[in-house]
Amino acid sequence: MSSTTPQPDFLRPTRGASTWAWLALVLSLLVLADAVHDAWRSWQARQLAMAIEPPAPVAPPPKLDAEHQRALKRAHAQLDRPWPQAFAGIEGIQRPGVRWLALDIGDGGQMRLEGLAPDAAAAIAVAETLRRQAAWHDAVPGRIENGALADGPVRFELSATMVGAEVP
């Protein structure tokens, strides 16, 4: 009896890798090594370029002429006004039958309010209420018109100036 392992005939005989497979593996590894080397050189060149080139200087803002400076001061003066208190005061005027139609605030802080009231006395009372608030002064009724019907609402207009409306 021999000491060799029997080889059944239904299994394919095993062979080692062919020479072409080893050649393809070596060639693939060479291409991969070249790609890694190229990426490394690109990274080094980028790092060198970033170290040599100083950052671009930031240009100073252009000088404003006198007209633009005045406009900028007016805009800052508008933003510095007590807007929340002013609008809260207008919205807080609760008179029976008074409805607001329009609100217009000019550049200088002058406000024009239009509304409907049941009668002229209510419109004058609204102006007085607005005048007593801290954010507004000089609130006066500018116009009071009777409605088309005798018992209809009165259309009124108020003019007021916001406190601190004087622009420097």
Using CA atoms, how far residue 111 sits from 19, 84, 138, in Å, is 95, 15, 10
Instruction: Output the CA torsion sign for 129, 134, 140, 144.
Output: negative
Q: What's the whole-model pTM score? A: 0.49
Q: Model confidence over 82-96: pLDDT tens digits? A: 778 777 777 777 778
Q: Return the closest-CA partner of residue 131 out of 84, 76, 94, 90.
A: 90
Kindly state the DSSP code that residue 132 receives in the 8-state scheme.
T
Rounded Cα distance between 34 and 7, Å, is: 45
Rounded to 5 degrees, φ, ψ at 160 are: -145, 160
pLDDT exceeds 80 at position 71: yes
H helical segments located in the chain? 19-52, 66-79, 83-91, 120-131
Question: What's the confidence (pLDDT) of residue 166?
Answer: 55
Amino acid letter for position 145 = E
Rounded Cα distance between 168 and 107, Å, is: 13
Mean residue pLDDT of the chain comes to 82
pLDDT exceeds 80 at position 117: yes
pLDDT exceeds 60 at position 149: no
Kindly state the DSSP code that residue 141 receives in the 8-state scheme.
E
Other beta carbons less than 10 A from residue 122's beta carbon: 18
